[in-house]
């Protein structure tokens, strides 16, 4: 199979973890006889330094012309002040908008070899396998905003079509998994949540009657993610709720460094990245955890290139590396922490 993969390493530890993921993708291409071209482009603070723009036109063009985008991380302490008119984070928002990526898939899987890295007791996290689908382009983050010296507003707005496409995606995923869908809202308070619940009910009743649907308020979901996380299968929710809940859920495996993600739209093109940030405090030291980025590469193969066998091979190799005791510092190793390169090599050897 021939494919073009846009590689946007970004800032901080982004280039370090992306380097390991690209190495794994090249190994998979060799093993399974594929031909993949990697097109690199700057993004985030690195692009601001080069061009003054966090998402330069050539970078966007590279992403649009590709079959999939592998993304590292963005963020730089120089731009920490939210009042900056130009900020690295504008790049990821621009990519989602320009590539029409409206659904964020965040799988949360626990690994037996590193149960002890989680802040939760082992009996709570055994067998956790959750797929969270977060609506990515609507809600309070994108609504109208006002600000005076003493008053501010942020509008939360959703339309039926925006909710329908998330409901369809979540239900299809549930059918391919354990058949259970949990829709998270705040319908006892918010009109947008009441519309969300109504539309989800209609879509599931009309198209997916075999899927077991459960509605849950967001505060209850936050509690049950810690109390009984193994009960969840697929979770769908709006933008802000999904942002918060997935960061909470990322602690179930023990580290942000184990969590991949995919941003998808209606076509095959998607953007794949670890959910962690740029971690400038450890950048350049070669100690960042690359597993989340490598697992994001597996999602890239599964969702954009439709290569399930290759994706599963990467996921199995990551599990093997963890079983072999190859832990970076964030995974609370019993001995000397593995470097980013050592973790990547362990996955490569397992392949």
- The residues that are catalytic are 141, 186, 219, 243, 247
Angle at 61 between CA 55 and CA 64, to 5 degrees: 105
**Beta strands 129-135 and 234-237, pairing class:** parallel
Residue 334 DSSP label: S
Contact 310, 294 (CB under 8 A): no
Question: Could you give the 3-state DSSP secondary structure of residue 201?
Answer: helix
**Pure H helices in the chain:** 14-32, 45-51, 57-64, 90-98, 122-125, 160-175, 191-207, 218-227, 239-249, 291-303, 308-323, 340-350
What's the rounded Cα separation, in Å, for the pair 64 and 269? 8
> How many residues are given for the chain?
351
What's the rounded Cα separation, in Å, for the pair 346 and 331? 15
């Amino acid at each position: 199979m021939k494919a073009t993969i846009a590689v946007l390493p970004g800032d901080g530890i982004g280039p370090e973890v992306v380097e390991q993921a690209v190495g794994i993708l090249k190994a998979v291409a060799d093993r399974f006889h594929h031909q993949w071209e990697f097109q690199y482009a700057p993004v985030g603070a690195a692009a601001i330094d080069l061009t003054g723009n966090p998402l330069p036109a050539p970078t966007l063009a590279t992403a649009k012309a590709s079959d999939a985008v592998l993304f590292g991380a963005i963020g730089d302490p120089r731009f920490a002040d939210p009042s900056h008119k130009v900020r690295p984070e504008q790049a990821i928002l621009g990519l989602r908008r320009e590539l029409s990526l409206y659904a964020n898939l965040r799988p949360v899987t626990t690994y037996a070899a590193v149960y002890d890295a989680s802040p939760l007791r082992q009996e709570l996290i055994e067998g956790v396998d959750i797929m969270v689908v977060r609506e990515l382009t609507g809600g309070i983050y994108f609504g109208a905003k006002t600000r005076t010296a003493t008053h501010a507003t942020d509008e939360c707005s959703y339309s039926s079509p925006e909710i329908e496409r998330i409901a369809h995606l979540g239900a299809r995923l549930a059918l391919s998994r354990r058949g259970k869908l949990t829709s998270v809202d705040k319908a006892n308070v918010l009109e947008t949540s009441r519309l969300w619940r109504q539309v989800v009910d209609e879509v599931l009743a009309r198209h997916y009657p075999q899927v077991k649907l459960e509605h849950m308020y967001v505060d209850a979901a936050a509690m049950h993610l810690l109390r009984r996380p193994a009960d969840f299968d697929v979770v769908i929710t709006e933008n802000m709720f999904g942002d918060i809940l997935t960061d909470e859920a990322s602690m179930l495996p023990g580290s942000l460094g184990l969590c991949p993600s995919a941003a998808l739209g209606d076509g095959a093109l998607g953007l794949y990245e670890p959910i962690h940030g740029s971690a400038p405090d450890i950048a350049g030291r070669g100690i960042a955890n690359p597993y989340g980025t490598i697992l994001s590469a597996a999602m890239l193969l599964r969702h954009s290139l439709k290569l399930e066998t290759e994706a599963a091979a990467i996921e199995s190799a990551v599990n093997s590396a963890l079983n072999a005791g190859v832990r970076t510092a964030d995974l609370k190793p019993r001995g000397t922490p593995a470097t980013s390169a050592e973790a990547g090599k362990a996955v490569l050897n397992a392949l």
